[in-house]
Amino acid sequence: MSKRGKKAEDGTGDVDQDNGAAPDTKKAKKGKEPEAPVLYEDPPDQLTSKDGRAANMKITSWNVDGLRAWVKKKGLDWVREEAPDVLCLQETKCAEKSLPADITSMPEYPHKYWAGSDEKEGYSGVAMLCKTEPLSVTYGIDKEEHDKEGRVITAEFADFFLVTAYVPNASRGLVRLDYRKTWDEDFRAYLSELDGRKPLVLCGDLNVAHQEIDLKNAKGNRKNPGFTPEEREGFTQLLEAGFVDSFRELYPEQANAYTFWTYMMNARSKNVGWRLDYFVLSKALLPSLCDSKIRGKAMGSDHCPITLHLAI
């Protein structure tokens, strides 16, 4: 059994969502060619806000599915080409003492922050790498039951908070769904408190496809982690608390735009995926929004990176 398979079976980590590709395993009808996959083409970056201000803040978020393996797959080469002002990483699965020198010594990002699981080395974990030093940095959401898994880093900048998060998965058999519901409630309260002080950007793997348009096979995944009614409602309640899904704000009808594809059954080449990675903004930041990008061609993980352009 692969490491990812074992992780799913023992319930210690996130699981691959159903890729919806099962019908492909059936025998094709005689003479009928398989349908070509519908791919998402990331349009040119929009670098001005609606009121004409130039973008001056670029944030990239990427679930790397294991930092050490991602570095070996040349993930940092892509980062240097993208050159964000802030790089947020999720599912690093690496204790700080084991971080690769290739990333700890990056001169482009002199300010680096790491959070990992207190109890399970090689599980969960987030990071934030900044070109400019934040005013302050905190870890977790001030709830012990959540903070021991190393899922949140918050940086305060002059005009906004930046929160990167790796939201817990409900897990195979939905064994952590009740915990996830508690997390969603507590995390929403944490974000709302921050938003009362200054606007925020939330980025990361939020482990939910909010609407049917956000995954390939909605019908087959209604009882699977990431698309249960409870998880979707949790995200709806977050938006109702005064936040905006930046991608849907700009591209409300865009289908086939995904950020995660299981490693199984050639899901990525078929674009059978899920949109699990988000930039969520305080409504007060909407005038600053220039673009919200899905960098689907970047390889190195079962997720692709996403990038946000703001005119702050």
Q: Active site includes 42?
A: no
Burial class (CB in 10 A: 0-12, 13-18, 19+), 95: middle
* Catalytic choice (109, 123, 166, 190): 166
Pairing of strands 200-205, 161-166: parallel
pLDDT by residue for the chain (312 residues), tens only, comes to 434 343 433 333 455 555 444 333 344 445 567 788 999 999 999 999 999 999 999 999 999 999 999 999 999 999 999 999 999 999 999 999 999 999 999 999 999 999 999 888 888 999 999 999 999 999 999 999 999 999 999 999 999 999 999 999 999 999 999 999 999 999 999 999 999 999 999 999 999 999 999 999 999 999 999 999 999 999 999 999 999 999 999 999 999 999 999 999 999 999 999 999 999 999 999 999 999 999 999 999 999 999 999 999
Taking a C-beta distance cutoff of 8 angstroms, is the pair 152, 165 a contact?
Answer: yes
Other CB atoms within 10 Å distance of the CB of residue 253: 6
The reply to whether the predicted model has a pTM over 0.95 is no
Residue among 146, 150, 93 nearest 121 (CA): 93
115-142 CB burial, b ≥16 within 10 A, e <16: bbbeebebbbbbbbbbeeebeebbbbbe
Q: What angle do CA 59, 41, 83 make, to 5 degrees?
A: 25
* Catalytic choice (65, 113, 277, 303): 303
Taking a C-beta distance cutoff of 8 angstroms, is the pair 41, 255 a contact?
Answer: no
Q: Active site includes 205?
A: yes
Taking a C-beta distance cutoff of 8 angstroms, is the pair 212, 232 a contact?
Answer: no
- What pLDDT, on a 0 to 100 scale, did the predictor assign at position 11? 38
Binding residue positions for Mg(2+)? 63, 91, 205, 207, 302-303
